[in-house]
Structure 1
């Protein structure tokens, strides 16, 4: 039987480009190394923050290979690489899962197709994920993120049905539904089906409810603080964990208001010495020189100071 990734902190890594929208390999490598040094358990390549839908098949495979090689060459062989393999057809999703295995990923994270939401009945959603899991050479996790799947929000019954498949080993819940998370964690042991909060503002609450950790965008900016928060909870220091959780919830809100993927790249490139703000259209870049015009940025600066002090 397939196994889920180990509990911990995972990051849906942003992907850096140059002015021609080609891979900025030194910046990508610098980001991977900083995340690994920050203590992350694994790196998700081509999560929603990794601009998967803007990449060719060859680029998706290259990004996975580059991440795995950079980790290995830097002494982080124990850091996992998970690949987002969602696509609009079952056939293409199966191909991307096979590519991910070849490129060095240990697990695949699969979004529900969203081009034809009226066709995606619960039965069809279950059929899609089961067919992908049947074909995938690596264990599969269900990625539930209504914002990027035309509003499709898989309920706990649907995910629980899928969890019974021997090659479906977990889920990332970016829907923010704590009741759903708790229902799933109390239905399956995390050693068989791991449930990850998809947002930092639910990290500690999710851990209290039995989650395996989180896979969250803000880790791109604050990996050490996420690791610190996770460790505080594991050590039983709930009071200090919840104090830090409150700050992280504000930071999670702030980074979203600064500009999503473009905002993450702008903040990282401004504060950590690598990368540029380029995104692939139709996403919008955020000018790092104008960050202070955003009312949420001052709080992010405070949190980055805490990150750099660790």
Structure 2
């Protein structure tokens, strides 16, 4: 899965002020990624506010990204949930011809055991017609998919090709990298520790800040993969402060504030999320002025 090495971004779903999907803004955001060195796009992940989109809106987002991308970059589709049967049904019924892989989050809210997590992804692997990227994000799911479970899945199912590891635990990430099958990809899901993970043997990132600063962040990852650590860390420290800023009041409120300041979209999010407050917006604006000279 060479196409999943490097920098992927978890695309937002831009909304107009009336909370409807802003198709024109989404096309601009996709173009911005293509023009600035991003390697692949992730559609309908957490950052897309997929939990608040209707079925029709999800189809609109998918169609818009496919059209705007026009075959230029590989596409990954978020297909996950805490109802295994429902996820399996979608995997069996959807057309995946335009997608390279699916990104599937570990079941949230239900708090399954490690065996439950394994059986959930076993069902997904057996149903999916394309490769599967596991997604571990304990801060959202209330359960941590342990390295032993990930390795078991990677060894048992050839189409389980990668994990987006977002536990925020560099030691856990290193254990995954140490023990994984040779071709299995460990992809960072934490922007702040992306570079250490890459230098430890990770394969890149699925990023949020990367879509706001695609040129700098994708170059940082590229340099990390080339083992040019000093040059890569120069870029990391240039944008480290804004990584903290964009997550301070929740995702994607922060990254949408950046897009508003860059003139790409409104900063509108849907309840229960709210937009960044004036204080945070001001600090993000100050950072953008500084980095853009």
TM-score if structure 1 supplies the norm length?
0.87
Tell me the secondary structure at the aligned position of residue 125 of structure 1.
helix
1:84 maps to what in 2? Answer: 78
Deviation at 1:102, TM superposition (A): 3.7
Deviation at 1:99, TM superposition (A): 5.7
Deviation at 1:125, TM superposition (A): 1.0
Deviation at 1:87, TM superposition (A): 1.7
2:8 aligned with 1:10: yes
Q: Deviations over 1:258-306 (max 9, x none)?
A: 54311211221122x221121121111236xx35665565334423x16
Distance 2:97 2:274 in 1: 29
Q: Which runs of 5+ in 2 are unaligned?
A: none
Distance 2:89 2:138 in 1: 24
Deviation at 1:249, TM superposition (A): 2.6
Quick one: structure 1 residues 251 and 98, their matched pair in 2 at CA, closer, same or farther if it must change by over 3 Å? farther
Q: Which runs of 5+ in 1 are unaligned?
A: none
Distance 1:59 1:15 in 2: 10
1:269 maps to what in 2? Answer: 260
2:170 maps to what in 1? Answer: 178
Tell me the secondary structure at the aligned position of residue 144 of structure 2.
coil
8 Å contact 2:198–2:225 — kept in the other structure? Answer: no
8 Å contact 1:197–1:213 — kept in the other structure? Answer: yes
Distance 2:239 2:144 in 1: 25
Tell me the secondary structure at the aligned position of residue 248 of structure 2.
helix
1:114 maps to what in 2? Answer: 108
2:287 aligned with 1:299: yes
1:129 maps to what in 2? Answer: 121
Give the one of 252, 257, 274 matched to 2:248: 257
Give the one of 252, 275, 278 matched to 2:268: 278
Distance 1:98 1:30 in 2: 32
TM-score if structure 2 supplies the norm length?
0.91
2:235 aligned with 1:244: yes
Residue-pair matches, total:
292
Distance 2:213 2:173 in 1: 24
Deviation at 1:248, TM superposition (A): 2.9
8 Å contact 1:4–1:193 — kept in the other structure? Answer: no
Q: Deviations over 1:63-114 (max 9, x none)?
A: 2222122111xxxx24111111112211221233346544722211111222
Counting only pairs closer than 5 Å after superposition, residues 189-204 of structure 1 correspond to structure 2 as: 189=181, 192-204=183-195
8 Å contact 2:114–2:146 — kept in the other structure? Answer: no
Distance 1:25 1:51 in 2: 15
Quick one: structure 1 residues 184 and 5, their matched pair in 2 at CA, closer, same or farther if it must change by over 3 Å? farther
8 Å contact 1:258–1:297 — kept in the other structure? Answer: no
Deviation at 1:4, TM superposition (A): 6.7
2:145 maps to what in 1? Answer: 154
